[in-house]
Structure 1
């Protein structure tokens, strides 16, 4: 009898190879017919023994498609190391009461050769049956075993179609997942380590392909595959799971052993490879994850290794281990991206407004519309968290249109209560993919009775303007109509005055990372003072963001900064609170009571 672990391994392999596929049976029919003809038997079968039954995936001379495993003669044959031959089933105490012997089929002779895969697992048999007793000679038994090997080869060949990466010849991602499934059935309690390697920058591969053609790049990947295999031991199967990525599973390796192996791999992989006549240095990044070989963990292994590998790529690290915290952060980002459309439809988004002050008279002159999201399950979500997520989705332009509509409506109300008070809105690079952005904004301005001069558009600095050809014409059209254009977060990244001449801006907003703590940092003071002076020389008004202390405000006044906003002056607040704040400032300080 097969022990339970062997039987589970065999059943898992049957599922992984999908040997019950009718297409496989049809491809094996010629071999079954050849067996019946060669041995002169009326019945030849290819039988697969699964958990509860045996199924005849190819058959000649028998109408039955399956029998109960308890009554299966083949279930005994797969335990044999050679052919199981029974000259007369009625004389064998194991089978004389079998329904296939006593029933209508009245079988007498049986000979079955196990179908053993390269991994040593017997899936079923190629068997012969007759209604008369007989016996195969030694030579005939060898021929039956030869046909059984042909059946296994045909099965593995058919099942490998679509399971190998043609460039490297290695098993691909589909085969990796199938083999993980087998592993989970066979070694569910064992501990393993999954490794996902990225050996070449995909953009560099694409550039090389454009310059040299695909054959040199394919040669590079084949060389990389060979290098990975050279370092690994013979019992570790390497898989080619994506264009420049390879994977494998390690058994019984400590973290130190894995790290040492990754070091050897990196040293081997970083040696130059020839692409055409050009020596190129492959990169090496690895994402690593420990897992138990149960179905749930094995099924999620590739995703977890991707989490670790992407962290290694972003950190430019050789090896990164899977982190549950990082995974939870990524899943939360995905949840926010997927929940945002529902949130917009269900009015989960709202606007608050942060006043901006003119430093010449300390009067609030405008307010910036800031988006807020209160998630029904997660509660308030910080804009610093959800804005970067949504800017990568197709929903961002729709959300910006929602902001435009609600902000313009509020700006119109303020013009009735606070004449001359301006509104500032933020637009993302994705918004400028819409070539009708300004046309739509102009229509909303007319509908609300707003003058373009009462609106300011804030855009982030950076080279994105050059990759959005529709952006500059639309910004120029806005400015020509009277809309003020401001560069937001200046000094936090690209920070190049040279490209500003291309953009019709009127305001530069100095990033809060430079302003907050200004009084304590000599470097920040030098930067901010230089930005303000150069901006004024170029004709721009300056706005300081993130003012949190009087010391910062004093320095900004000293350097001639035009406007400021921040918690020290006013926190983001409701539209009604802004109205009360501006009215109070415009009314001036309360009069002192007359002295008697």
Structure 2
């Protein structure tokens, strides 16, 4: 059979004008044509050559009906009737086809020595392979095998299809071959000398073993990481390494040879299943390794959807035809691989190192996948790169991603170390802040001298020591006589600086006083303190004495030192001082009583020429007044002479009024305004605190119910005493009041000081827990000035911490309070509590608290305490937002 262009050329030769010309042209044509016939239909074996790729020597026909048999093709007439075509390619590749293909090639072995040869079909996924060797018009050998046949029927136990051919006599042998497959139809056929094939096959097996060994090492490495840190991305990657290695072993025939040689069904299904499984692992690993849910949430959702599709394809591959599912699996592999590569680029664009590692790894692997896929679809011929590109790409990918995983572990270690370092720094800062808070709780914030809290503790110990030694002592109280007038005239800023200088002189004079005892011993280069602040501008000194006369004389020396003018800012200021003295054990043996007696003596000293007075029971002007106030307080409670004032609480984030603190006021007809500090202790001592607290709660709840009826949705905070926490039915009484006025419990907040809670921890915890369970909120008032521990606070059912106003007052003047306030706010938030600041009296303090993240504030900057009607007017016209509901209709 000659092609058409050969016939045309032949006719042109015969059409020459001269016989010689025609003869020369015909001879040249025939000479040129002979080698072509040898390469297209016949292969001549040479003595020095051991490997013959048969692709370009093959002729083929396509049997669409799959009905042709070898007997039909061997018949000369039938042979000529078939339209045999040359392959003209190194490897016959027909893509996905359901036809069967017949091939033949004539092998001329006349010039070689007799020896065994091997016919190799190096594609293990062909369903059916029939090989016939014909010599001298007879079929000398016939073989039938394929991956739809048991592995045991193969002529040679090998991953590829091998057919032994013994060329023991000079002559020609025709090789017939029939191939059918539901997968890709590619037929790489090579004729080998047996010895050469064994050498080449050993080298190839060594390379495959090295590849599998390296992948096994990477698998074990990632499994070790998985078991160490238990992160799912490593599980997906380890599964991916395992599946890809198994898939490539199957692609090269090792799976059927070593793993499942007796399972024909699984051999048919395995390739599509493993491709889909590897794609599923890729999708899941990409989503978790690149943290797509964090960086690219929409792409993450899309990749998860594709993962479900791949999972469906993986399951379907076990039931649907291989020819369909291998195409679906390869197509999904390309889509997801490209999607993963794009995801890596996008994540890398966000500055993530993991994205760059991912791009480098998948870029190399995509090349191998692309070449393999195009080869499967018949676009690219079967070459070494299309056959082994995926191994090279996967090796590079596994190495890079394993390094990326290791780098990620190191990054996480660095992040954990940095987090631990930050936590340690925060803990140190918190410890320093707590130490500062503790220091501030027992020291005067302005002058730094010990305050009343420390004095009461140390003073009792000093008296116990003096009692043990049989000695006497005096408690000396010093009150700065004219300081308030000067402070009001010159202003608080100048007054603070002046007071610091005054206390320095007082401290020096106290040290010089004979017998004075240190209230706090110095450390870290700081001297001892011999005086303590009681309240305001009143200070106390404790001295060991010989007699009342000696302490009186020493007190006059001290007061003379305080009378000397103070030079401050080019001004000479006369402060003056008053001294009150109480003697131990003559006037009493309790330190608190001695302090109170010394304070009484101060009142007497105001009328004294020397400014010094020693307490005596006959000089106590408070006894009658105290008794009068006790009786008058009971009358005022029964006669409704007490008043409730309300100070608003603001949500600093929204600027809205969320509540108000109820404050009790008493205007005595004779003594005028009596402060709560004066009559509340009387109520606690006489037992009036119980009805007094109930009166306050009932009036506050009644006012709150009225606000709610008008649509004003705010709550009320009420201070309660330590004595209230000892009442058995205290919580039930409050619930009855709330039910009576129709107010929900969550609108009421009870404020308890740290000191009140610490008097009886167990009782406080029990009562407050019962109140909290009813829905009422609990607040810790004046936080920072008591001794409560964080461990105890964490056990209490509290909702908020109320920072002591002293810290807020000093924010504008001393930077250290900024740290304390900020730390207290952060601590409250760490305990899931609201932070409330009282005493906010300036715009600067308000802005700082907002910057610190404080939740609620109250103080004169917002509004002073107001009676009910003015408070309601302020709510309506105060300029702050108030949450309102539609007005309730009268029933």
Q: Quickly name the TM-score band, shorter chain normalised.
A: 0.3 to 0.5
Give the TM-score normalised by structure 2.
0.32
Instruction: Tell me which protein shows more helix as a share of its residues.
Output: 2
Higher relative contact order (Cα pairs below 8 Å, separated by 6+ residues): 1
